[in-house]
Amino acid sequence: MGLYDFKVEKSDGELESLKEHQGDVLLIVNTASKCGFTPQFEGLQKLYESYNGKGFKVLGFPSDQFMNQEFDNQEEILNYCQTNYGVTFPVYKKVNVKGEDKVPLFKFLTEEKKGMLGGEIKWNFTKFLIDRDGNVVERYSPQTKPEKIEEDIKKLL
Protein backbone atom coordinates (compact mmCIF):
# COMPACT_ATOMS: atom_id res chain seq x y z
CA MET A 1 0.00 0.00 0.00
CA GLY A 2 1.33 3.43 -0.93
CA LEU A 3 0.63 6.94 0.32
CA TYR A 4 -1.98 7.64 -2.34
CA ASP A 5 -4.05 4.63 -1.26
CA PHE A 6 -5.02 6.32 2.00
CA LYS A 7 -8.13 8.33 2.74
CA VAL A 8 -8.14 10.91 5.52
CA GLU A 9 -10.95 12.68 7.27
CA LYS A 10 -11.18 16.39 6.58
CA SER A 11 -12.14 18.77 9.36
CA ASP A 12 -15.76 18.74 8.14
CA GLY A 13 -15.90 14.95 8.41
CA GLU A 14 -15.75 14.22 4.66
CA LEU A 15 -13.19 11.69 3.42
CA GLU A 16 -10.43 12.84 1.09
CA SER A 17 -8.21 10.54 -0.91
CA LEU A 18 -4.53 11.45 -0.74
CA LYS A 19 -4.57 10.82 -4.51
CA GLU A 20 -5.76 14.43 -4.66
CA HIS A 21 -2.21 15.41 -3.72
CA GLN A 22 -0.47 13.08 -6.17
CA GLY A 23 2.36 14.93 -7.87
CA ASP A 24 2.80 17.39 -5.00
CA VAL A 25 5.60 17.57 -2.47
CA LEU A 26 3.97 17.16 0.94
CA LEU A 27 4.93 17.97 4.49
CA ILE A 28 2.68 15.94 6.79
CA VAL A 29 2.73 17.13 10.40
CA ASN A 30 1.01 16.00 13.59
CA THR A 31 0.01 19.21 15.33
CA ALA A 32 -1.37 20.47 18.64
CA SER A 33 -2.75 23.87 19.60
CA LYS A 34 -1.46 24.02 23.19
CA CYS A 35 2.10 22.73 22.82
CA GLY A 36 5.46 24.42 23.28
CA PHE A 37 6.04 23.79 19.55
CA THR A 38 2.72 25.38 18.49
CA PRO A 39 4.48 28.55 17.23
CA GLN A 40 5.79 26.33 14.40
CA PHE A 41 2.39 26.90 12.77
CA GLU A 42 3.79 30.27 11.70
CA GLY A 43 6.76 28.70 9.92
CA LEU A 44 4.60 25.99 8.37
CA GLN A 45 2.25 28.64 7.01
CA LYS A 46 5.17 30.61 5.55
CA LEU A 47 6.43 27.50 3.75
CA TYR A 48 2.93 26.82 2.46
CA GLU A 49 2.55 30.37 1.17
CA SER A 50 6.00 30.37 -0.44
CA TYR A 51 5.73 27.07 -2.30
CA ASN A 52 2.04 26.19 -2.62
CA GLY A 53 1.93 27.53 -6.18
CA LYS A 54 4.92 25.35 -7.08
CA GLY A 55 3.36 22.04 -6.08
CA PHE A 56 3.94 21.98 -2.31
CA LYS A 57 1.38 21.36 0.42
CA VAL A 58 1.42 21.21 4.20
CA LEU A 59 -1.10 18.76 5.68
CA GLY A 60 -1.80 19.20 9.39
CA PHE A 61 -3.19 16.39 11.53
CA PRO A 62 -4.11 17.48 15.07
CA SER A 63 -3.50 14.95 17.81
CA ASP A 64 -4.36 14.99 21.49
CA GLN A 65 -2.10 12.10 22.48
CA PHE A 66 0.68 14.08 24.09
CA MET A 67 -0.46 15.54 27.43
CA ASN A 68 -3.88 16.59 26.08
CA GLN A 69 -2.49 19.57 24.21
CA GLU A 70 -5.28 19.79 21.65
CA PHE A 71 -8.79 21.18 21.89
CA ASP A 72 -11.65 18.67 22.03
CA ASN A 73 -13.75 20.47 19.44
CA GLN A 74 -12.71 20.58 15.77
CA GLU A 75 -14.07 24.13 15.37
CA GLU A 76 -11.87 25.31 18.24
CA ILE A 77 -8.84 23.73 16.59
CA LEU A 78 -9.49 25.45 13.26
CA ASN A 79 -10.34 28.80 14.83
CA TYR A 80 -7.21 28.73 16.97
CA CYS A 81 -4.93 27.91 14.02
CA GLN A 82 -6.50 30.53 11.75
CA THR A 83 -6.83 33.30 14.34
CA ASN A 84 -3.42 32.95 15.97
CA TYR A 85 -1.25 31.84 13.05
CA GLY A 86 -3.21 32.63 9.89
CA VAL A 87 -3.20 28.97 8.88
CA THR A 88 -4.69 28.37 5.43
CA PHE A 89 -3.18 24.94 4.73
CA PRO A 90 -5.45 21.93 5.29
CA VAL A 91 -5.97 20.93 8.91
CA TYR A 92 -7.69 17.57 9.11
CA LYS A 93 -9.79 15.85 11.76
CA LYS A 94 -8.04 15.09 15.04
CA VAL A 95 -6.36 11.66 14.87
CA ASN A 96 -4.30 9.19 16.85
CA VAL A 97 -0.71 9.14 15.59
CA LYS A 98 0.72 6.51 17.93
CA GLY A 99 -0.29 3.34 19.71
CA GLU A 100 -2.73 0.62 18.75
CA ASP A 101 -5.38 3.12 17.60
CA LYS A 102 -3.13 5.13 15.29
CA VAL A 103 -4.71 5.88 11.94
CA PRO A 104 -3.47 3.93 8.91
CA LEU A 105 -1.71 6.97 7.39
CA PHE A 106 0.52 7.37 10.44
CA LYS A 107 1.14 3.61 10.61
CA PHE A 108 2.46 3.91 7.06
CA LEU A 109 4.55 7.02 7.74
CA THR A 110 6.17 5.62 10.88
CA GLU A 111 6.94 2.32 9.17
CA GLU A 112 8.50 4.09 6.19
CA LYS A 113 10.67 6.42 8.28
CA LYS A 114 11.51 5.38 11.79
CA GLY A 115 12.68 8.04 14.21
CA MET A 116 15.92 8.08 16.17
CA LEU A 117 14.28 6.07 18.95
CA GLY A 118 12.17 3.75 16.81
CA GLY A 119 9.00 4.09 14.80
CA GLU A 120 6.51 5.65 17.21
CA ILE A 121 5.97 9.38 17.16
CA LYS A 122 7.29 10.79 20.43
CA TRP A 123 5.69 14.25 20.42
CA ASN A 124 3.68 16.88 18.55
CA PHE A 125 5.07 18.47 15.39
CA THR A 126 6.88 15.43 14.03
CA LYS A 127 7.14 16.11 10.30
CA PHE A 128 7.30 13.80 7.27
CA LEU A 129 8.52 15.06 3.89
CA ILE A 130 7.01 13.29 0.89
CA ASP A 131 8.29 13.55 -2.69
CA ARG A 132 6.12 13.96 -5.80
CA ASP A 133 5.91 10.17 -6.20
CA GLY A 134 4.54 9.58 -2.70
CA ASN A 135 7.81 8.37 -1.16
CA VAL A 136 8.57 9.32 2.44
CA VAL A 137 12.01 10.87 2.03
CA GLU A 138 12.63 12.35 5.47
CA ARG A 139 11.31 12.49 9.02
CA TYR A 140 12.01 15.51 11.20
CA SER A 141 11.83 15.75 14.96
CA PRO A 142 9.46 18.14 16.74
CA GLN A 143 12.44 20.38 17.52
CA THR A 144 13.19 20.89 13.82
CA LYS A 145 11.76 24.25 12.88
CA PRO A 146 9.97 24.49 9.52
CA GLU A 147 12.56 26.99 8.23
CA LYS A 148 15.24 24.28 8.54
CA ILE A 149 13.29 22.06 6.14
CA GLU A 150 13.01 24.66 3.37
CA GLU A 151 16.15 23.59 1.47
CA ASP A 152 14.98 19.96 1.43
CA ILE A 153 11.62 21.08 0.05
CA LYS A 154 13.26 23.14 -2.68
CA LYS A 155 15.33 20.13 -3.79
CA LEU A 156 12.16 18.09 -4.27
CA LEU A 157 10.37 20.84 -6.19
Q: Which residues are catalytic?
A: 35
- How far is 111 from 150, CA to CA, in rounded Å? 24
Give 101's DSSP letter.
Answer: T
**Between β-strands 127-130 and 7-9, what pairing exists: parallel, antiparallel or unpaired?**
unpaired
CA dist., res. 104 & res. 66, Å (int): 19
**Alpha helices (H) along 8-85:** 40-51, 74-85
Rounded to an integer, what distance in angstroms lies between the CA atom of residue 58 and that of residue 44?
7
Would you mind telling me the total number of residues written for the chain in this entry? 157
Q: State how far the Cα of 153 lies from the Cα of 157, in Å rounded to an integer.
A: 6
